[in-house]
Structure 1
Amino acid sequence: MTRSFHRIAAAVMAVAVGLASPLAAWAQQRGPVTNLPLPRFVSLKTNEANARRGPDLSHRIDWVYKRRDMPLRVTAEFEHWRRIEDMDGKGGWIHSALLSGERTALVQADMAPLRVHPNADARDVALLEQGVIGVLQSCEAEWCELQIGNVKGWLPISVLWGVEPGELLN
């Protein structure tokens, strides 16, 4: 009886420890098709893509994305289809051929200063309007380096969508 109690107690503790960090557990999930982490960020490879209710051309189109390089979060995989969501939590299933592994980020703050160094006191390179999309070059601690056209600079992660808080990217 005592051994059974200890086994049950150990199982309960294991579950409790796992529930203590649900984000860590989610970050460790892998896609059944690609074996890449879920969730993960990708970008839209084309100027137009249909997001469908299910992973097949016969499913109804819920959204039409019309912005190349838009960052999207992949939350599930099925064969050649990826379930994605945008910054508003909207989305659906998109064929994988329409997605790129290139990381981009969308500026969420209006007139966000793009800095020459990852420091709030650094000189401004540009002021970015809300909705600008740039290619992520790297991220460290609380800052990400973005390239927008021929201009490179640093923004705080807190004003970007397309990168997780604290994410490191080389």
Structure 2
Amino acid sequence: MKNIYRTIAIAAASASVLALTACAVDPYYGARPAPVYQPAPVYHQAPVYQQAPQGYVQPQVYTEYGRVANIEVMQGEVARQPSGAGAIIGGVLGAVVGNQIGHGGGRALATGAGLLGGAVAGNALEGNQRGPVVQTYRVSVQVENGGTRTFDVPSPGDLRIGDRVRIQNNQLQRI
């Protein structure tokens, strides 16, 4: 009779750990990288294009000019999701500690409670881990028409405050 209760307690505890692990698994686990902005190519001479087909209207490319007004360093953390490993390790440790308590049916109950409590605690500890810090730059440009445009870039490159820039297709180019 005692073996049946122990088997039921262990099965229930195992099922609860599996359920917690399934809830914690993120299919897109890992640091999600910040978007990468490619610098616009700089042509030393105008590129040669083929002739457009008959009736094709080429879209207008809007170009603005301005000066770099400010460059700010922006830091942020990448969100990190628990993988479930903390729940599994915590559940195993909790079951080992719970198995040391009590006798007979009480021991099985303590093992199951330790498994469940350890899984919850391990998942919470893993979820509190900080993600990597990502550093980007916010470049503010004072355009000639009086407005201000801002661009978030991974690196300002050789841009400095006061540099004259061209904005073409939402790409900054130093001129």
The reply to whether TM is greater than 0.5 is no
> Which structure's residues are more often strand, by fraction?
1
Short-chain TM bin: under 0.3
Q: TM-score, normalised by structure 2?
A: 0.21
Larger Rg: 2
TM-score after normalising by structure 1? 0.21
Which structure dedicates a bigger proportion of its chain to helix? 2
